[in-house]
Amino acid sequence: MGCSPAAVRAALLLLVVAAGASVAGATYVRYKDPKQPIQARVADLLGRMTLEEKIGQMTQIERANASTAVIEKYFVGSVLSGGGSVPSEKASAATWQEMITKMQKAALSTRLGIPIIYGIDAVHGNNNAYNATIFPHNVGLGATRDPDLVKLIGRATALEARATGIPYTFAPCVAVCRDPRWGRCYESFSEDTKLVQLMTAAVIPGLQGAARHPTGIPVVAGPKNVAGCAKHFVGDGGTRHGINENNTVLSFHDLMRIHMPPYYDAVIKGIASVMISYSSWNGVKMHENKYLITQILKDKMRFRGFVITDWQAVDKITTPPHKHYYHSIQETIHAGIDMVMVPYDYPEFVADVTAQAKRGAINMDRINDAVTRILRVKFAMGLFENPLPDHTLVAQLGSKPHRELAREAVRKSLVLLKNGKGKKDGKPVLPLSKDAKKILVVGTHAHDLGLQCGGWTKSWQGQSGNDFTGQGTSVSSHISHACMNPNILLMLMLIYVVLGHDRCAGTTILEAIKSAVDKKTVIDYSEHPDKGSISKNLDDYDYGVVVVGEQPYAETAGDNQNLTIPGPGPEVIRKVCELVKCVVVLVSGRPLVVEPYLDTMDALVAAWLPGTEGHGVADVLFGDYGFSGKLPRTWVRSVDQLPMNYGDKLYDPLFPFGFGLTTKPAADRS
């Protein structure tokens, strides 16, 4: 039977429509549909994944190893920058973005196109990045008692991380430091659990945004926010003798009472991830503590984000490290770890997990749970919709508004411990006069941005010097590698004009003093002055400012069993304060032993680790603003009293928790 041309055309049209519908059906992928619920997207994607792709999501490697070939071969789920790991020396925000874009495109080119999540320790600003705003470390923020300020700092940190293309930070540290001998004590807001809770509940919405989800579900409000990481679970601030990675000996009740509450707040605020501590609890390594990780954090507290290890922490379960690694991996994953930080040994890790999963030594339900949690965070962050860095955010790095915010934080963090009366006029030493004829500024920390910032600044351990945080940038340096779309270029230029991008990348305390005093005031500056030279000019000096403190450190390198002021600090204090009316500004990550020199000082200020904005110190020294900071931790007389914390039965500090003299701005003084 024959067909008419019209019938043939109609039949062909039906075939085309049917074929089109078939293609459309084949191309629709539920996990790629942002209109679908997150859990539905996770389930759909998980069901499509091979074992190798799942293990790849559980693997986090170091930036230096994250080549296109490695990301594609191992289906890498996450990349990190260790402390000081940067794309190039003094890399611009655009250079960071270029690097991360290349990695992300490699991930997107894989079969399922799952984006990586790039993480970094942005613990007091985006501190690895050149020209970033460096805020006071957490101990200083605890002294402010200002959660609204801390929330704004979280927001600014998120923007500066996103400026470099980074969507994930290993912050905040919610440790309750119970012994200042611990080398990480400055990463803790306080020895007081309630104060740590207050700051934790403020900084997380700053970092992640204030979107609402059911308790325990990760909350990342948008592409200008970052995923956070509460660390280090749990009890890291309570180790014996303050030794890093040591054993915390406490009853379950005291662990829950002192160290666990900030994690409840973090979970309630929708924290995206939790990092496990190197330390142990009553002899059991936290990285293999299934009871605390799975039964308490995940089951009882209903945490729905992912749990991540610390740097090469699986190796450290055994002594010596890496012994019985095959077994350590099994213990770690079964304890409830979801993502494993294996910066360098990822081939061995992937091979071992694969082998154990195939023979049933590692439970597939546990692997599926881990991948579910990681994907849940990635979907919650919007990484599938916005995987690439936003070129329009580069101007946020080191912006003027962020530096002004950091300056405010410095002002509010300073704690006035002593303010004696001058021998001649009987008036309190502080605030200092701006119109003095001649002043003396001395000490190792007076003119050194690196010492002001402390550890975790550009490099892991921190470093001294005035050039590593940036010496000013031009618009062209930020946009030279950006997308050359004229509309984007115009937008970048407008952002710089609106924000008034600050060309200065930091101010030392000496520079801030010079800026604060009258132009006619003569300033003599010396790191380590000669007593004879001071004596020659003794009658000329109105007063002296002595700025001394600790050298930068991080983690174990900062463990300190004596807590004395490092030399030549004590000698400089004695030389100057015995001859001239003096203010001592102590730059440190914790209280140091000062009682032997206290009578010599006319005034003493705890400046903590203020960061790049030294103007904040001068603002208060010279009375533009009053002192308002309160001690976030007990200031002991000697290390023989340690550990000693607020509320202890035997409590005899030099300065108690919460102490801090207040002053009014000079303009308000009658």
Fold match between domain 37-396 and domain 413-471+485-668: no
Kindly report the number of other CB atoms within 10 A of residue 666's CB atom: 16
Q: What would the two tokens of residue 659 be?
A: 């102490």
- Count of CA atoms in the C-beta half-sphere (13 A) of 127: 31
CATH 3.40.50.300, applies to 37-396: no
Q: Is there a contact between 292 and 276 (Cβ–Cβ < 8 Å)?
A: no
Question: Which DSSP string corresponds to 496-531?
Answer: HHHHT--S---B-HHHHHHHHS-TT-EEEEESS--H
C-alpha radius of gyration, the chain, whole number: 28
pLDDT value at position 333? 98
Q: What is the end-to-end Cα distance of the chain in Å, rounded? A: 112
**Residue 310 among the catalytic residues:** yes
Cα separation, 644 vs 651, whole angstroms:
7
Per the residue annotation, which of 245, 288, 310, 408 is the catalytic one? 310
Angle among Cα 426, 427, 433 to the nearest 5 degrees reads: 130
Question: Which DSSP string corresponds to 146-164?
Answer: -HHHHHHHHHHHHHHHHHT
Backbone phi and psi for residue 269, each to the nearest 5 degrees, phi listed first: -80, 5
The structure tokens 């305390």 sit at 509
Element holding 310 (H helix, E strand):
none
Q: What would the two tokens of residue 303 be?
A: 């945490």
Edge to edge, the sheet with strand 603-608 lists 415-419, 603-608, 582-587, 543-549, 438-442, 522-526
Helix (H, G, I), strand (E, B) or coil at 278: coil
Cα distances (Å, whole numbers) of residue 337 to 59, 194, 334, 372: 11, 28, 7, 12
Q: Is there a contact between 627 and 661 (Cβ–Cβ < 8 Å)?
A: yes
Side chain identity at residue 452, one-letter code: Q
- Closest among 387, 386, 365, 418 to 597, alpha carbons compared: 418
**Residue 555 among the catalytic residues:** yes
Q: Is there a contact between 46 and 372 (Cβ–Cβ < 8 Å)?
A: yes
Per the residue annotation, which of 555, 559, 602, 619 is the catalytic one? 555
Contacts of the segment 538-541: beta carbons below 8 A, 24+ positions apart: 538/579, 538/580, 540/437, 540/438, 541/438, 541/439, 541/440, 541/580, 541/581
* CATH fold label, 413-471+485-668: Rossmann fold (3.40.50)
State the alpha helices, DSSP H only, in 292-424. 325-335, 346-358, 364-381, 400-413
Confidence (pTM): 0.91
Angle among Cα 503, 505, 511 to the nearest 5 degrees reads: 100
Q: What would the two tokens of residue 636 be?
A: 């002991």
Provide the residue ranges of all domains of the chain, joining segments of one domain with +.
Answer: 37-396, 413-471+485-668
Cα separation, 349 vs 347, whole angstroms:
5
Cα separation, 287 vs 299, whole angstroms:
17
Under-50 pLDDT residues of the chain: 1-3, 5, 8, 10-25, 471-486, 488-504, 670
- Structure confidence by residue, pLDDT tens digits, 285-317: 999 999 999 999 999 999 999 999 999 999 999
Cα separation, 36 vs 216, whole angstroms:
20
Cα separation, 555 vs 539, whole angstroms:
45
Cα separation, 257 vs 241, whole angstroms:
20
State the alpha helices, DSSP H only, in 230-283. 252-254, 261-268
